[in-house]
A and B are shown apart, each in its own frame.
Chain A
Amino acid sequence: MDLLNALVALSNFVVIPGLAYGSQLALGALGVTLIYGILRFSNFAHGDTMAFGAMVTILFTWLFQSMGISFGVLPTALLALPFGIGGTILLALLTDRTVYRFYREQKAKPVIFVMVSLGVMFMMNGLVRFIIGPGDQRFADGERFIIKARTFKQMTGLNEGLAIKTTQGITVITAIIVVAVLFWFLNKTRTGKSMRAYSDNEDLALLSGINPERVVMYTWMIVAALATIAGVLYGLDKSFKPFTYFQLLLPIFASAIVGGLGNPLGAIAGGFIIAFSEVTITYAWKKVLNYSLPDSLAPDGLVQLLSTDYKFAVSFAILIVVLLFKPTGLFKGKAV
């Protein structure tokens, strides 16, 4: 019984939040890794692209709410999501057309692209703050829980409750669908194959008649969609604040690099590795250990390895270890 309680506590505080956060990071890291694979630079504006996508979705959510449209038990934001994606795709294509294309034609060095992406980051960040303000926005509605802690306790008679938020469920399910569609697209469709070919060997792809501008265009569209979905899921699960999205950049980059930059499968694995490390290292294990250990061994303290404020340190430490021992990432990424 105690072991069951320990297991429930573990799922409630570690496994489920970790899964949700991991899915959000994985979606974000997929965007970073695709840009790196096709356009060959680390996009520092990705966090702010996510913020922009989430913002457009929030604006449409508010519009729908004011019109009385709702999605039943699910959050209205899911209905607004396609509009958010559309808006972000427009912005991404516009940025590519006005900013990045010039440097592509110049064949600029990757570090110049990174600088340029810093400029884009500033502008997007400013744009989001200008339109929606720098404050916190909550836009989740509909049913809040799939299972409430109290209902779970009554159902099972255990001491520990298990709560699954609707947003956590939606996050994981959406992530699975998105990843499945993305891999189907990359592996089965003509465009997807040409994207992979372009990423593997640019010259060879050009020789075989692949239009690079088309590949780049599709990449931006996919990346914008991924960023919006990741941003909206994160915002639903926690809350929307432009600065938090900027800070997500670090764990997202860590995920992409740990998995192997340029490798989509690696980005997903990396997302979950980073998320679970963050959650397990900053979680206070006292409860779980109290249940699972005999009384004589029960710990006095919280058994929290690091305070939650050091979650950046966790993603960073993993990043450094991977870079030092396996510079191409766990799954073979591109090492330029």
Chain B
Amino acid sequence: MTETMKHTLLFAVVGVLILAEGATDFLFFSGSWNSALVILNMGLISAIMAIGVNIQWGFAGLFNVGIMGFTALGGLAVVLTSTPVIPEAWSSGGVSIVMALAMGALTVVSGVMITKFMAPGKARMLVLAAVMIVGFFVYRAIFDPAVGSVEAINPALQGNIGGLGLPVLLAWPAGGLLAAGAAWLIGKTALGLRSDYLAIATLGIAEIILAVLKNEDWLSRGVKNVVGLPRPMEYEVNLQADPAFLERAAFFGLDGIEASTLYVKIIYALLFTAVLLAFLWMAQMALKSPWGRMMRAIRDNETAAEAMGKDVTRRHLQIFVLGSAICGIAGAMMTTLDSQLTPGTYNPLRFTFLIWVMVIVGGSGNNFGAVLGGMLIWFFWIKVEPMGILLMELVTAGMADGSDLKAHLLASASHMRLFTMGLILLLVLRFSPRGLIPEK
């Protein structure tokens, strides 16, 4: 069996799994096409995230565990781009907030300038400390009252600065830009560090981004969530009221409700597939290009690449920004799919480490591997729960009904997820460290 055949077969397996989810309710499959499409859609988004991580890790060997932060920033971009403009918010405090943020940025920039241009010593420390402290208090003095007035506007529904009222599809590139900007800042400070330190730094950044989203109510409504985000297509209720749509649904032998839910999900799936294919194509082109070869050269031997005159830190920064931007776009897509931003639900295990499992299982360094890993692991992430319950029913079949152990085992089956993901990761690392579709 040739390599290509094996890889096609692996993709076919994922396809069959998703089709089976829709077609049959045998064992852990649910037999619902809606559920199959839900898995497919999130699988596509996961695949895009995996491409982003694969660019950083597989191409350049950068160990980024702050994916959750970039995903969340993508989600924020949807709120900032596509929600309607709230004029009161801007007239009451929005401008001051922007001013305060600019003031904060100015403080940081002058801090960086001072460290760069003053000679090291006591004087520098004193000036730096003075600028930082004064800057901080000025920032808070402008910021706090402005935030108070913005959050006071219709707090039950808004209380945040609102968005630009643009079409939601524009939020996807905006999410990429936002994530890229954050990645540039992080990269500038942390990329000189060695791998473990970079990992811990990115882990911290992700937590901070999330803390900002959870607490800055003026920006993202915090844990009150932003719901009802605009969608790039018609709502189901409108479709159900549309006679032409109902007629077509009847042609396929479906009732209006099921047809409309499927229709919306299929449109999403097509959109996501288009984005995924675009990124896959770009990543493949980049990998084959001289730039991609240079990246791999840097990954495999930094010293040698540097001796050849390659600017390692700059290239690292470049690829860090690119990969993070892709994660940001995927994050924006995910928030659009959910049509809500819920900062409370972001969890590093799900949004950072699970993506890592996808990349490693799929095959680090191979874009097709990342896509395969993304889809496959996502399927299992969803399906481990019913599998676990099935397994537990099997294990506890012989036990007496009503025993505490049996009840506990059945109730805890849903926590098998993390355990299984860890097991899969360890097994792949041990027995097939190059993943399902290894790097060429």
Contacts and interface: CB of A to CB of B under 8 A. Distances in A.
A122 B196 contact: no
B157 interface: no
B190 interface: yes
A121 interface: yes
B16 to A, nearest CB: 27
B412 interface: yes
Contacts of A324: 189
A323 B426 contact: no
Contacts of B197: 257, 323, 327
A130 B422 contact: no
A230 to B, nearest CB: 18
B422 A121 contact: yes
A39 B43 CA distance: 37
Contacts of A41: 196
A99 B201 contact: no
A192 B318 CA distance: 45
B122 interface: no
A90 B200 CA distance: 28
A269 interface: no
B353 interface: yes
Nearest to A36: B196
Interface stretch (A8-16, A147-155, A248-256): A248-256
Nearest to B197: A323
Nearest to B433: A112
Nearest to A335: B194
A63 to B, nearest CB: 14
Contacts of A309: 211, 214-215
Given A126-B420, A323-B201, A112 B429 contact: yes
A120 B425 CA distance: 9
Interface residues of A, number: 48
Nearest to B430: A102
Nearest to A125: B418
Nearest to A106: B433
A42 interface: yes
A312 B204 contact: yes
Contacts of A301: 144
Given A126-B415, A127-B419, A323 B207 contact: no
A142 interface: no
Interface stretch (A163-171, A182-190, A209-217, A314-322): A314-322
Interface string A100-123: 001000000011101110111111
B316 to A, nearest CB: 15
Nearest to A315: B204
A129 interface: yes
What 8 pairs across the A-B complex have the smallest Cβ distances? A126-B419, A122-B422, A123-B422, A126-B418, A316-B204, A119-B425, A119-B426, A129-B415
17 contacts: A99-B430, A119-B422, A119-B426, A121-B353, A122-B418, A123-B422, A125-B419, A125-B422, A130-B415, A130-B419, A243-B347, A310-B208, A312-B207, A312-B208, A320-B189, A323-B197, A336-B194
